[in-house]
């Protein structure tokens, strides 16, 4: 498991390349740079292959550094300084501490006290509740009021939250003390540890911790053994353990009385904190030398490997540079080079001697098998041709020349693509998807050319209106994006609690973007009866528990600045009323959309609407809106278009779309023209005698029918795939992941371009836990959805958990291999204990404890990622 997750942060948002294209670095003059060479070090293991002075399995060979052609360090002062650029980067560092649990009796011998402590700094919250003797299921209840520690607040009717406090200002740990009467009917205390600073939750395999107070008569191997008191806490070396806490108890089997015995338990806990670093790239030219020298330096601690190559044209095809190479350089797959940076006092660095006729230098930084620094999942690209054109020119002249040179190359690429699209042979052979792919590529190139044009015309920085008039229109398939989207759910069920979620998320925008996400889904923005936003009232009032309308605008602007598209969560099925009718029923609305009871469906007895019958399933907590009414559709269309223009949303997550006909959704999307849209169509899968059926065609057909009703203008969450993954992983029945025709068994197997795959969200997980993914198997789920077609969605809680590094590595692998929503899956194994597949002949994967290795042959495979019960390989030619 990776211990670091690194993401590159864009220093100047205006220079970001649209929709995940490679970053073009606009370099600035370098005035001085102190350079030094340090002794060689042993190379580190990365991605399953070891860099060393041996040749393991023929995967690598060592290239000796040449001292005759390498730029001399002591003559750098005589070199012409061309450009320098410094890039801020964020890495995630793990801080280790202790979670402490103690149960003991009060001095008065009347009550008992449960003390939960944490040795790590931070704003810690205990989210907790109780269960009673005789309860069934896994639901919590709020504890009695006399158990509430000072400062506790209620969470609905099932839990409370209590802030941790230091016993005194000199103490090094935080704690919560809970007093209770042992004669009460409480059977257990349940809790989750939450870090308010990061939003992370610490649980037991995705479930709550449980301190049981009764009915444990024998030591079943999981008892917590008693210690006398808190002591000094040594540093922990592992992540939060898989544990269930149980209080020791004893009683006579013929007597209902119980006798508690105290215990004290220490367990390791790990918190991930963001640490800022930098990567500096500089280019120099020596007098009378045919080569240029690129200097790369970083203050990231530890071993850092540069995975690099060069290119000769704007296609940016990786090639191996000619010698000389820096010390400790290896050849990787005959396509690239890897160089271990040499240590300095504050980091590490390397010098690269390059032919000045080359067009570009491409690289990423690898820290270990699963962590690297790149630009939003793509390679850094240094345009060497731009550096050449600078010599003898002023800064503004060089930027203009390099921008023109690069845009000329892009224009030529567009011309070639258009020629290929319109040629007679192409028209006869290319399928619709291939043509769409070419058009998407043209759009990306055009946007990139325009971005360079904007950044290379410094004479008119203020003339935004003229520039906006010149901006080309980019026609994306409305509602379905480009096909390469990776969605991040940017909140959980508790995000509204602080009242400033928009500002908290703004601080994380660059980190989220650097993981490789392209789209982020924000919570419902409207005034709402429920703080989470899903019982909207005044649709035009965007001051919510997540923040103000101005803070929302600021957040969306920041997310756009780091290259993310933004989805608004819109609740169109129902709306809470402002007033009662003459019968005392709440069905009269206020605000800008002051509808009367004609806007409410007529077949919901709870709200006595005068509209037509519902076109879907009723949601009984609020009046269901009658979308067949012309005035309702007109008002909702105006509202969606207002959100697009006023807030800047790029698309929609549509709540509870089971409640109304998909044809109305088509009207809304045709009018608001979202970049991407996805509907929540969630109903129960098929079961027989409590066991999930293998054939879930009826379930996925209902979702596909809804997508069809929208005329394909929106996708839908692939609830079918989530449910099947539950049974496959929980019951070790991986054969379920292939349908009767050998295809994926969810929506992704029938209509992958409209399937948004996921394993968890704010309803199924978080503190609601309505349908929590099997604990400890989350990464198997992500290994499946992030390598398969469809549009994968990642839940916020998992991004800020210890899964972050592995998720980031899978996203980068997906981007690197250009897996998209229509990628081709070949299932090669679906058995009791293992599922394996290849995707686009570029990626092979397996999940489950069973054995699978991709076969050797014309297609050579190398292990790219590995975790608990999953592996992923990449193809090499």
The answer for residues whose C-beta is within 8 angstroms of residue 364's C-beta and 6 or more apart is 306, 307, 308, 372, 373, 374, 379, 380
SS3 call for 194: strand
CA distance readout (Å), 653 to 412, 543, 665, 675: 38, 19, 12, 11
Sheet strands (E) in 541-599:
565-570, 579-580, 586-588
Give me the catalytic one of 265, 626, 680, 797: 680
- Six token digits for residue 119: 């040795």
Pairing of strands 380-383, 360-368: antiparallel
Residue 660 is inside which H or E element, if any? none
Q: Which residues pair with 192 in a beta bridge?
A: 127
Q: How far apart are CA 597 and CA 581, in angstroms?
A: 8
Angle between helices 719-730 and 778-785 (to 10 degrees): 130
Give me the catalytic one of 379, 538, 655, 739: 655
b/e code 111-123 from CB counts within 10 Å (16+ = b):
bbebbbbbbbebe
Q: How far apart are CA 2 and CA 367, in angstroms?
A: 9
Say if residues 834 and 851 touch (Cβ distance below 8 Å).
yes
- Six token digits for residue 638: 């105006």
Per the annotation, the verdict on 655 as an active-site residue is yes
How many CA atoms are closer than 13 Å to the CA of 250, on its beta-carbon side? Answer: 3
Class of residue 530 by CB neighbours under 10 A (exposed 0-12, middle 13-18, buried 19+): middle
Q: What string of H, E and C letters represents the secondary structure of 32-43? A: CCCCCCCCCCCC
- Closest to 753 in 3D by CA, of 365, 402, 492, 479: 479
The answer for residues whose C-beta is within 8 angstroms of residue 224's C-beta and 6 or more apart is 101, 245, 246, 247, 248, 263, 265
Angle between helices 719-730 and 697-709 (to 10 degrees): 160
Say if residues 312 and 359 touch (Cβ distance below 8 Å).
yes
SS3 call for 590: coil
Q: How far apart are CA 504 and CA 497, in angstroms?
A: 12
Q: Which residues pair with 570 in a beta bridge?
A: 654
SS3 call for 690: coil
Q: What string of H, E and C letters represents the secondary structure of 695-715? A: CCHHHHHHHHHHHHHCCCCCE
Residue 382 has phi, psi (to 5 degrees) of -105, 110
Q: How far apart are CA 131 and CA 185, in angstroms?
A: 9
Helices (H), 740-826: 747-750, 778-785, 796-799, 804-816
Per the annotation, the verdict on 464 as an active-site residue is no
Q: Enter the DSSP assignment of 499.
A: S
Q: Give residue for tokens 């050998």.
A: 742
Residue 720 is inside which H or E element, if any? helix 719-730
Give, in degrees to the nearest 5, the angle at Cα 58 between 56 and 59.
Answer: 80
Residue 378 has phi, psi (to 5 degrees) of -120, 175
- Six token digits for residue 854: 């991709």
Q: Give residue for tokens 């309308």.
A: 549
Class of residue 657 by CB neighbours under 10 A (exposed 0-12, middle 13-18, buried 19+): buried
Q: Which residues pair with 265 in a beta bridge?
A: 101
Active site residues per annotation: 655, 680
């Amino acid at each position: 498991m990776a211990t670091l997750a690194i993401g590159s942060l864009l220093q100047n948002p205006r220079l970001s390349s649209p929709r995940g294209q490679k970053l073009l670095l606009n370099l600035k003059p370098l005035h001085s740079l102190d350079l030094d060479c340090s002794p060689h070090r042993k190379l580190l293991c990365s991605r399953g292959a070891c860099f060393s002075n041996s040749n393991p399995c023929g995967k690598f060979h060592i290239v000796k550094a040449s001292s005759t052609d390498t730029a001399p360090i002591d003559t750098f002062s005589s070199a012409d300084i061309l450009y320098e650029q410094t890039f801020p980067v964020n890495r995630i560092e793990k801080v280790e501490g202790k979670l402490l649990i103690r149960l003991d009796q009060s001095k008065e011998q009347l009550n008992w006290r449960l003390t939960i402590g944490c040795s790590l700094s931070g704003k810690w919250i205990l989210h907790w509740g109780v269960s009673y003797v005789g309860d069934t299921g896994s639901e919590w209840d709020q504890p009695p009021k006399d158990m509430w520690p000072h400062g506790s607040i209620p969470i609905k009717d099932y839990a409370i939250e209590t802030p941790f406090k230091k016993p005194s200002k000199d103490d090094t740990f935080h704690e919560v003390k809970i007093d209770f009467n042992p004669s009460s009917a409480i059977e257990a205390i349940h809790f989750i540890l939450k870090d308010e600073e990061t939003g992370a939750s610490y649980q037991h395999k995705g479930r709550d911790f449980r301190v049981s107070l009764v009915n444990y008569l024998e030591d079943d191997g999981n008892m917590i053994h008693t210690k006398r008191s808190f002591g000094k806490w040594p540093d922990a070396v592992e992540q939060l353990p898989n544990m269930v806490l149980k209080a020791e108890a004893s009683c006579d089997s013929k007597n209902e009385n119980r006798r508690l015995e105290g215990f004290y338990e220490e367990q390791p806990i790990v918190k991930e904190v963001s640490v800022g670093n930098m990567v500096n790239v500089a280019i120099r030219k020596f007098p009378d030398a045919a080569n240029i020298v690129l200097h790369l330096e970083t203050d990231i601690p530890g071993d850092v490997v540069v995975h690099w190559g060069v290119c000769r044209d704007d296609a940016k095809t990786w090639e191996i540079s000619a010698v000389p190479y820096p010390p400790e350089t290896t050849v990787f797959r005959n396509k690239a080079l890897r160089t271990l940076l040499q240590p300095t006092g504050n980091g590490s660095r390397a010098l690269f001697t390059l032919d000045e006729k080359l067009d570009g230098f491409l690289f990423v930084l690898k820290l270990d098998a699963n962590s690297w620094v790149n630009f939003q999942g793509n390679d850094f690209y240094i345009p060497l041709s731009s550096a050449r054109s600078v010599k003898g020119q002023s800064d503004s002249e060089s930027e203009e020349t390099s921008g023109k040179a690069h845009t000329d190359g892009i224009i030529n690429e567009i011309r070639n693509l258009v020629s290929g699209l319109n040629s007679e042979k192409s028209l006869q052979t290319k399928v619709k998807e291939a043509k769409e792919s070419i058009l998407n590529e043209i759009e990306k190139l055009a946007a990139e050319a325009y971005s360079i044009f904007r950044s290379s015309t410094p004479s008119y920085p203020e003339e935004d209106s003229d520039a906006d008039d010149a901006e080309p229109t980019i026609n994306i398939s409305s509602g379905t994006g480009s096909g390469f989207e990776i969605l991040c759910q940017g909140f959980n069920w508790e995000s509204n609690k602080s009242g400033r979620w928009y500002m908290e998320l703004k601080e994380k925008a660059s980190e989220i973007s650097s993981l490789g996400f392209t789209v982020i889904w924000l919570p419902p923005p409207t005034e709402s009866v429920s703080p989470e936003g899903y019982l909207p009232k005044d649709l035009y009032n965007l001051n919510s528990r997540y923040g103000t309308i101005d803070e929302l605008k600021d957040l969306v602007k920041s997310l756009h600045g780091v290259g993310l598209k933004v989805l608004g969560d819109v609740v169109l099925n129902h709306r809470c009323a402002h007033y009662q009718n003459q019968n005392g029923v709440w069905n009269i609305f206020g605000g800008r959309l002051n509808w009367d009871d004609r806007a409410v469906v007529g077949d919901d007895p709870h709200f006595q609407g005068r509209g037509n019958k519902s076109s879907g399933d009723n949601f009984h907590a609020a009046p269901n809106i009658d979308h067949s009414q012309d005035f309702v559709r007109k008002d909702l269309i105006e509202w969606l278009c207002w959100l697009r223009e006023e807030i800047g949303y790029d698309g929609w997550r549509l709540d509870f779309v089971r409640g109304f006909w998909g044809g109305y959704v088509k009207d809304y999307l045709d009018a608001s023209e979202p970049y991407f849209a996805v509907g929540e169509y969630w109903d129960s899968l098929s079961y027989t005698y409590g066991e999930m059926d293998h054939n879930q065609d009826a379930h996925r057909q209902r979702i596909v029918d809804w997508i069809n009703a929208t005329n394909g203008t929106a996708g839908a969450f692939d609830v079918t795939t989530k449910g099947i993954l539950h049974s496959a992983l929980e019951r070790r029945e991986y054969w379920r992941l292939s349908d009767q025709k050998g295809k994926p068994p969810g929506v992704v197997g029938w209509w992958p371009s409209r399937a948004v795959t996921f394993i968890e969200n704010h309803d199924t997980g978080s503190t609601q836990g309505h349908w929590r993914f099997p604990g400890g198997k989350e990464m198997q789920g992500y290994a499946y959805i992030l390598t398969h077609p469809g549009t994968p969605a990642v839940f916020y809680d998992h991004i800020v958990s210890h899964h972050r590094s592995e998720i980031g590595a899978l996203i980068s692998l997906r981007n690197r291999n250009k897996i998209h929503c229509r990628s081709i899956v070949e299932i090669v194994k679906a058995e009791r204990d293992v599922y394996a597949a290849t995707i686009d002949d570029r990626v092979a994967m397996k999940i489950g404890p069973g054995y699978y290795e991709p076969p050797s042959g014309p297609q050579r495979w190398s292990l790219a990622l590995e975790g608990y019960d999953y592996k992923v390989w990449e193809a090499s030619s």
